[in-house]
Structure 1
């Protein structure tokens, strides 16, 4: 059964969403809709009332980028644990990921530890939600952040992603990656222990805990889950920036290797580049650079006449 997520957003968030999904927007008119878009196999319909409906396999993931779901057909509506008082001033390990909704490029997950003594310095540098930063700013900040704080970055290249994906759905894969990045960073920090671990929420807490049970090195203590985690602690913002910079670097690498600009997202530009790769080296070549289970693959085959 397809997942359905519904969120309510204000005008400011709606404008950000429309800009964010520009390359993915569908050229069709829906009554009372401000815009409609498609990311992979997931459709997003934003209505003038402020209600946004996400439908498809990555509905949870996409909706979690913008707000808390009002209703869903999968998981649970149970609210995450309330954060401790003065949370933004605690020593926190935060984690975030990038690339799950992009056809080309990897999935990057970063866990970053910010000791309370570093909070003011990072904020002074401009460390905040990566969606508010330009790509050049993200690259520059990431290089600085990585010199200042402990972090663990995991990069799953498309070829590896395609091998894992049949066994792990998108949410399960992210649970495994977040858990592993946090586990590895905790080991490096020992004997220092963060006062809390904050995961930028991409699935209900109960769902996360269900999937993490199948992981060998489970981290379960001091875990908190909130959407838009970067607003609650700079550690998540730092993790988001490092993840995004790594994603951009990998896209640059792919572009250089292929001699063509590889786009982010999952819009028509991705279909066209994928069709070029299919003509050049078939599905074997495409599998090295793209997440094959996305709907873009079938669209590219049609464009390439395959």
Structure 2
């Protein structure tokens, strides 16, 4: 007999709607795919059971009041502007009732609510990059990791901003129901299955600034599309129609990183995606990413990630720990 899991979503004024609708769509889609609509039984609740207004102006009508809700299997705490000055009664409820859930999940700044209730003390956690400093400053007992898109620590899972809640929900569905169900949901939602939790919140392109001048922006785009090309400073400078010295100075001034560092990040990111999403061999991937040889890619991975490509692939495809 299939296991039924209840999911309780905490709602409050100024909640970010995408923080909970994304995961809810994942759980709902998984239930439909499993053929049993009760695979995930989802309920929403606010403090008094009354309507709440999201940060985008939508009005939501919860199913019940938090005090009337039974302890769920999964308690989902979204983020939003309402986490900045939360209702003390909400923190009290979380402190008292959240430990009764088998699994605690926060999305975005929802981690601030869990931390305020003491539920993240002694645990590793993440949140939206914009509030990581605040989480670390206000809650020194929490081990804040600002880089991953989600973090699992025991039965507590925290995630970064908005869409990372979908990534985390897909990982939970994979754990509960298997990879095929999670993959079916991901395909339906037209998202990837699955970005690993340790993937950085920023891609190489987002981590660097976009150059102001069009020739330099074009070079950035060309690097991204041709990681296996000649990406020497001389070659890139010629593409931008600048001298190598002028190009190197201008590129760093406008993007915040040297051309070499930018190329390094793009190649590592491309190699990681191929290791995660394809069965291509290490030698083939090293050529596709411009390393030339597996040994060159191995050295780059050890420097950037602390593990060789084969070990990275093994960890990524290992079963999700329960």
Give the TM bin, normalised by the shorter chain: under 0.3
Indicate the structure whose relative CO is greater, using CA pairs within 8 Å and at least 6 residues apart: 1
Where is the strand percentage greater, Structure 1 or Structure 2?
Answer: 1
Q: What TM-score, normalized to structure 2?
A: 0.24
Q: Could you tell me the TM-score, scaled by structure 1's length?
A: 0.25
Larger Rg over CA atoms: 2
Q: Which structure carries more helix by proportion? A: 2
